[in-house]
Amino acid sequence: MRPSGRAANELRQINLTRHYTQHAEGSVLAEFGKTKVICTASVEERVPRFLKDKKSGWLTAEYGMLPRSTHDRMQREASTGRQGGRTLEIQRLIGRSLRGVIDLAALGERTITLDCDVIQADGGTRTAAITGSYLALVDAIHYLLSKNLITTNPIHGAVAAVSVGIYQGIPILDLDYQEDSEAETDMNIVMNEAGAYIEIQGTAEGHAFHPHELQAMLNLAKEGIRQLLTTQDQVLNHN
């Protein structure tokens, strides 16, 4: 039995709320159970220096946690003066994941920044961030289309993410904090709507995991991501 009482292949309650704040071109509150992440997509009419005169746009991501989004208060990274390794790792992952479904040349010479800020953390913040950022990105693209700043949609796929792990020998889906901290293996999977992988990141915590365990986790993730993609679809078609 999982600490959360869920079935091994059961997602937490997923809520994706669009238009959560008012200034950003896309703004989504992504909730995976008690995990809450604000994902905003901001459009800026400039590109980083390395893309100057390259006829291409850019998409990047930043990630942060409010100091008391966690059980114990964490130091504010703005105050310590540097983003930690975990933060940089996660924001690089979010950026790659979203770049996996957009044609940057078709975006034009502009930058979309996805800011993922964790308001409350209970495990799976990076997968909630990716899943919510996709919707924020879609809304930012809708904004550009509605303003005739672009004429064709540069998004060529949908993307969602979920965590899987081995808990007391059993593969489980969408770990909350308690499950995650006791899991022997922790893996994050990012997939597109065609069932292909954009990112796989698996880490043995307690013991190394075997190929059949990997396969079981991949199967769970596939099913979970299919549900997340469906939820995204419903939210987009709702209003």
Binding-site residue numbers for phosphate are 86, 124-126
SS3 65: strand
Asked whether 161 and 189 are in contact (CB, 8 A), the reply is yes
Given the complex with its own copies, which of 114 and 235 has the nearer CB atom? Answer: 114
Task: Provide, rounded to whole angstroms, the least separation between the CB of residue 75 and its own copies.
Answer: 9
Task: Provide, rounded to whole angstroms, the least separation between the CB of residue 198 and its own copies.
Answer: 5
Query: What's the token pair of residue 204?
Result: 């043995």
Distance CA(29)–CA(21), nearest Å, equals: 9
Q: Could you say whether residue 200 binds its own copies (CB under 8 A)?
A: yes
Q: Could you say whether residue 149 binds its own copies (CB under 8 A)?
A: no
Q: How buried is residue 62: exposed, middle or buried, by Cβ count under 10 Å (0-12/13-18/19+)?
A: middle
Task: Provide, rounded to whole angstroms, the least separation between the CB of residue 95 and its own copies.
Answer: 10
Strands 111-120 and 58-65, by their bridges, are: parallel
Distance CA(232)–CA(225), nearest Å, equals: 10
Given the complex with its own copies, which of 147 and 207 has the nearer CB atom? Answer: 207
Stretch that binds its own copies, among 125-133, 167-175, 204-212, 226-234 (CB under 8 A): 204-212
E strand or H helix at 92: helix 85-99
Distance CA(117)–CA(38), nearest Å, equals: 5
58: CB partners within 8 A, 6+ apart: 47, 48, 51, 104, 107, 110, 111, 112
Stretch that binds its own copies, among 2-10, 11-19, 167-175, 190-198 (CB under 8 A): 190-198
Q: Could you say whether residue 94 binds its own copies (CB under 8 A)?
A: no
Which amino acid is residue 149, in one-letter code?
Answer: L
Q: Could you say whether residue 19 binds its own copies (CB under 8 A)?
A: no
Task: Provide, rounded to whole angstroms, the least separation between the CB of residue 61 and its own copies.
Answer: 11
Q: Could you say whether residue 48 binds its own copies (CB under 8 A)?
A: no
Given the complex with its own copies, which of 7 and 29 has the nearer CB atom? Answer: 29
Given the complex with its own copies, which of 174 and 213 has the nearer CB atom? Answer: 213
Task: Provide, rounded to whole angstroms, the least separation between the CB of residue 18 and its own copies.
Answer: 15
E strand or H helix at 144: helix 125-146
Contacts to its own copies by CB under 8 A: 21-24, 27, 34, 36, 38, 40, 42, 44, 62, 64, 66-71, 73, 76-79, 81-89, 91-92, 96, 100, 113, 115, 117, 119-121, 157, 187, 191-192, 194-204, 207-211, 214, 218
